[in-house]
Amino acid sequence: MEKQIEFLKEVFRAEVKGDYISQTDQYITHGEVRIGDTVVMIGRGNSQYPNRVGMNYVYVENADEVYKRAIQCGAASVMEPVDQVYGDRSGGFIDPQGNEWWVGQRLK
């Protein structure tokens, strides 16, 4: 989870709101980051709740910049940002942990 939080900080300029460190295992089991005006909660999987990948669509100020940072931080491209007929400029990538992210920016 520590790598996921670092990825979100680098790519989205996310602000860490808090994390919970397990007293027995000494690693983060739950974390929260703020991306723009949205709080994203993430958790470490366990036998009861196994790891799962997610798919997220996040509005950002500049989809091209976020996409470029993601690729520089080890993400795999799904689609470079392009103008869409529904009024967004959007693109997608898969982070090193396997989560799919789409970034969109409203066109004027």
Question: Which structure tokens are listed for 92?
Answer: 């997608």
Give the residue among 63, 51, 54 at the shortest CA–CA distance from 105: 63
Q: Which of the pair, 28 or 4, is modelled with greater confidence?
A: 4
Full set of structural domains in the chain with CATH? 2-106 (3.10.180.10)
Q: Which of the pair, 70 or 17, is modelled with greater confidence?
A: 70
For the segment 87-105, the average pLDDT, to the nearest whole number, is 97
- The pLDDT score that the predictor gives to residue 46 is 77
Cα separations in angstroms, 2 against 8, 17, 31, 58? 10, 14, 9, 21
Q: pTM of this prediction?
A: 0.87
- The pLDDT score that the predictor gives to residue 63 is 98
Q: Which of the pair, 96 or 22, is modelled with greater confidence?
A: 96
